[in-house]
Copies of this chain bind each other. A is one copy, B any other.
Amino acid sequence: MTDSEYGQRTETLQEPTPPVARDAVARGIDRGAIVTVYGRCTVDYDGRATSYLEAGDRHLMLKPDGAALVHTDEGQQPVNWQPPGCDHAVGCADGELVVESLRSTPDERLAVRFSEVLQVSAFSGTDENDLALTGTEEDLRQRILEEPTLLENGFTPLATERDTPAGAVDIYGEDAAGRAVVVELKRRRVGPDAVSQLRRYVDALERDLHADAAVRGILVAPSVTDRAGRLLTEHGLEFVSLEPPAE
């Protein structure tokens, strides 16, 4: 039922007793493995908020970086979790397997109590490669910097991440008439929040450059919602429809 010889890349136990499960989990954590436990459990969380989950069958994953995830059979998001950097502890109490993940700053505690353990697994392996992702806001920025005319004729980018009292502007530049232009980029359709963000930057830059300077604000995104479009008009801001490159 197990393949627990030293050096194996996986080690799995079916319906172990709590002490056996505890030792397997502890050994997996020690070896730097991804450890999973499936079984009937309750979950306590206390930290930034507080939660409790009554008994049910769930899947717990403990990662060597200190992350913990409790998954039910629904949803992309775990029902409970702990971020990387936590310390995992495992033990038996009242004949149950108990897994705890703790961290400080902020003080947070996750406790999973298994009344029944159906399976414990430990997975060791290597993963050297990083994800290659395209279609991000950064890609959209590159596209505009390489071909500023996409924004409008005569636009000249002068800086990216230009600092203002309100934060860093995505692209700062000049139009054909020499007016200052603030560009805010979004990789997808935007709502009111993006308009407010652009507005903050334009306001801040107008103060920074002295009161006389009128600063143009251009929102670049695939599209805007109705309300966002109205907000743009109200605030005298502009919109240019552009998407991140497909690849």
Contacts and interface: CB of A to CB of B under 8 A. Distances in A.
Contact of A166 (B80, B126, B192, B200): B192
Contacts of A81: 76
Report the contact-size class of chain A (Cβ under 8 Å from the partner).
35 or more
A160 interface: no
Interface in A1-38: 1, 3, 9-10, 12, 14, 32, 34, 36, 38
Contact of A71 (B10, B61, B192): B61
Contacts of A48: 135, 188
B9 A50 contact: no
A64 B166 CA distance: 45
Interface string A167-180: 10000000000000
A31 to B, nearest CB: 11
A56 B126 contact: yes
A79 interface: yes
B197 A57 contact: no
B121 A119 contact: yes
Nearest to A40: B125
A9 B38 CA distance: 10
Contact of A125 (B12, B73, B136, B247): B73
A74 B79 contact: no
A142 interface: no
Interface in A122-164: 123-136
B53 A132 contact: yes
A233 interface: no
Interface string A212-234: 00000000000000010001000
A72 interface: yes
A112 to B, nearest CB: 13
19 contacts: A10-B119, A34-B71, A38-B125, A48-B188, A49-B136, A50-B133, A50-B246, A53-B131, A55-B129, A56-B125, A59-B123, A64-B73, A64-B74, A65-B73, A67-B76, A72-B127, A74-B84, A119-B123, A167-B227
Given A34-B38, A167-B227, A200-B231, 11 more contacts: A12-B119, A49-B134, A49-B244, A61-B71, A63-B75, A64-B73, A166-B227, A192-B200, A193-B197, A196-B197, A196-B199
